Homo-oligomer: A and B are copies of this chain.
Amino acid sequence: MNGLATALTALDYAAVAVFGATGALAAARRKHDIITFGFFAAVTGVGGGTLRDLLIGAPVFWVGRPQYLVVCLAAAAAVWVLGPRRFRSRILTWLDALGLAAYAVVGALKATSLGVPPISAIVMGVLTATFGGVIRDILAHEPSVLLQRELYVTPALAGAGAFVGLGLIGAPALLAGGAGFAIALSIRAGAILWGWSLQGFGGPTTDDP
């Protein structure tokens, strides 16, 4: 269980950092100043977990532990310093994929550990994984990542569902978490690399939204 707690904390900070970096990159595309970088990094980094904590009635995780905010600001500073050429939308997409997979598991785990029923716990995983990016896109006045044709909610759902389902049949938490992370990341990677998508409503998938 100690291994799990350590892995979980690392995953948690890593997810905050990568989502924070995607927030700063959204600010970079609009050539914003360093303060707005930090603001977008913080909102994106902690947004999904904040919604999860509000919904399950837990104290919001970063309020009592501001080091999460510091991680977001460090991610924003890194994007600022490394400059526009090295961070491209491709990198943003992949960081977002890592954060999505990590948060799908972390969000569902926190919910189940507080006694939330399985279906709601899966939803918490999905919300934690997706809402940071949704808030980022809304604040940046861009079409939400949800509206893409590529799979986005689906990998989060598959990862959180696998984690919760494996836990229900008695799998060790570290295994269930690893499997959930790997499944979410694999599906999202397929969507990024090969444009995986499910059939759209009303006929074959087309590219125009």
Contact = CB atoms under 8 A, between A and B. Distances in A.
B55 A116 contact: no
A201 B80 contact: yes
Count of identical protomers in the assembly: 3
Contacts of A50: 55
Nearest to A58: B57
A32 B201 CA distance: 6
A30 interface: yes
Contacts of A153: 35-36, 39
Nearest to A64: B117
Contacts of A123: 42, 66, 69
A141 interface: yes
A12 B127 CA distance: 23
A8 to B, nearest CB: 21
Nearest to A33: B198
Contact of A201 (B33, B39, B69, B116): B33
Interface of A: 27-28, 30-37, 39, 42, 50, 54-57, 59-60, 62-64, 66, 69-70, 80, 83-84, 116-120, 123, 126, 134, 138-141, 143-144, 146-147, 151, 153-154, 157, 197-203, 205-206, 209
